[in-house]
Amino acid sequence: MRPLTDDETKVFFEKLTKYIGRNIVHLIDRPDEPYCFRLQKDRVYYVSESIMRKTTAIGRQNLISLGVCFGKFTKTGKFRMHITALPSLAQYAKYKVWVKPNGEMPFLYGNHVVKAHIGRVTEDMPEHQGVVIFNMADVPLGFGVSARSTVDMRKVDPTGIAVFHQSDNGEYLREEDALF
């Protein structure tokens, strides 16, 4: 477990900024306790500093997980967000999309969100920006990238893709066999 290097921090924060914007400050400077990001086996973990200090007594080979996994770095140095980051992303999301009940299951099965399934959208959402997908009861379902801006979304036909799928809560079940 080690702190992120400058290059890793830059890549990670650029990816995180696509989803929560300047709210990254709220992740680190929390009123209850300071938190930090740490790297363990190419995975970035979000952990409180008090727990991080206590884990220094555990060897790197013996430490499996620590805090909340936000994602991992690929072999090429890019960062890929994991679904385990969804509660933090949903709390501070800059742009949100709410899907109707008939659009929840297709999204949870790994499909893109089409315009016919959209219930509400955050105003002034630009194209190719990170968004968090909610159902109409404000339960976070996953996250993706907007295919169109809010203005362009109103003009597209009902079968047109509005949000590209990146990750959803159904991933826990689909990737279950990879865990064992």
Whether residue 179 lies inside any domain: the answer is no
List, for the chain, all residue ranges whose pLDDT scores fall below the cut of 70: 176-180
Whether residue 180 lies inside any domain: the answer is no
Q: Domain holding 103: CATH number?
A: 2.30.130.10
- pTM value is 0.86
Query: What is the predicted pLDDT for the residue at 180?
Result: 42
User: Which among 85, 114, 136 is the end of a domain?
Assistant: 85
Query: What is the predicted pLDDT for the residue at 1?
Result: 80
Residues 28 and 65 placed together within one structural domain of the fold: yes
Which range marks the domain in which residue 34 is found?
A: 2-85
Total of domains in the chain = 2
pLDDT in tens, 57-67: 888 788 888 88
Q: Domain holding 70: CATH number?
A: 3.10.450.220
User: Which among 51, 85, 119 is the end of a domain?
Assistant: 85
Residue by residue, DSSP assigns 78-93 as: -EEE-GGGHHHHHHH-
Query: What is the predicted pLDDT for the residue at 30?
Result: 85
Alpha-carbon span 61 to 56, nearest angstrom: 12
Residues 79 and 99 placed together within one structural domain of the fold: no
Alpha-carbon span 103 to 40, nearest angstrom: 36
Alpha-carbon span 162 to 67, nearest angstrom: 33
User: Which among 85, 119, 137 is the end of a domain?
Assistant: 85
Alpha-carbon span 92 to 142, nearest angstrom: 14
Query: What is the predicted pLDDT for the residue at 57?
Result: 82
pLDDT in tens, 67-86: 899 999 999 999 999 999 99
